[in-house]
Copies of this chain bind each other. A is one copy, B any other.
Amino acid sequence: MNAIDQVNLSSDGPNLSRIVAGTMTWGEWGIDYSASEIADMIGHCLDLGITSFDHADIYGHYSTEASFGHALNKLGTSVRAQMELITKCGIRLETNRRPENRLKSYDLSRDYIIASAEQSLKNLQTDYLDLFLLHRPSPLMNPAEIAEAFTHLEQSGKVRSFGVSNFTPSQFGLLSQAVTLVTNQVECHPLHPDCFYDGTFDQLLAANIRPMVWSPLGGAKYFKGESTTVLRLRDTVKTLAEKYGNVGEDVILLAWLLKHPVGAIPVVGTTKKERLTGTRLALDLELETQDWFAILEAAVGHEVA
Please list the residues of chain A having a beta carbon within 8 angstroms of any beta carbon in chain B: 91-92, 101-107, 109, 136, 138-145, 168-171, 173-174, 177, 193, 196-199, 202-203, 205-206, 259-261, 289-290, 292-294, 296-297, 303-305
Q: Is the CB of A199 within 8 A of B168?
A: yes
Residue of A168, A198, A261 with most chain B CB atoms under a 10 A cut-off: A261
A140 contacts B260, C-beta separation under 8 Å: yes
Contact between A106 and B293 (Cβ–Cβ < 8 Å)? yes
Query: With A261-B141, A261-B142 in contact, do A202 and B170 touch (Cβ < 8 Å)?
Result: yes
CA distance A292 to B92 in the complex (A): 13
- A169-B170, A202-B171, A202-B174 known; A102-B294 Cβ under 8 A: yes
**Residue of B with least CB distance to A105:** B293
Q: Could you say which residues of chain B place their CB within 8 Å of the CB of A177?
A: 206
Q: How far is the CA of A140 from the CA of B292 in the complex (A)?
A: 9
Q: Judge whether A304 and B105 touch: CB under 8 Å.
A: yes
Most buried by B among A293, A296, A297: A293
Contact B103 A290 (CB under 8 A): yes
A50 to B107, CA, bound (A): 33
Instruction: Write out the residue numbers on chain B whose beta carbons fall within 8 Å of the beta carbon of A136.
Output: 305
A61→B70 CA distance, assembly (Å): 64
A-B contacts besides A105-B304, A106-B289, 20 pairs, CB < 8 Å: A103-B290, A104-B303, A105-B294, A106-B293, A136-B305, A138-B305, A139-B193, A139-B196, A139-B197, A139-B260, A139-B296, A140-B289, A140-B292, A141-B261, A170-B202, A171-B202, A173-B202, A174-B203, A174-B205, A177-B206
Once the chains are docked, how many angstroms separate the CA of A103 from the CA of B239? 15
* Selected contact of A143 from candidates B139, B205, B292, B296, CB within 8 Å: B205
The distance in angstroms between the C-alpha atoms of A170 and B196, with both chains bound, is: 11
- Say whether A140 contacts B261, CB under 8 Å: yes
**A133: min CB distance to chain B, Å:** 15
B305 touches A106 (CB 8 A): yes
A294 touches B103 (CB 8 A): yes
A297 and B199 contacting across the interface, CB-CB below 8 Å: no
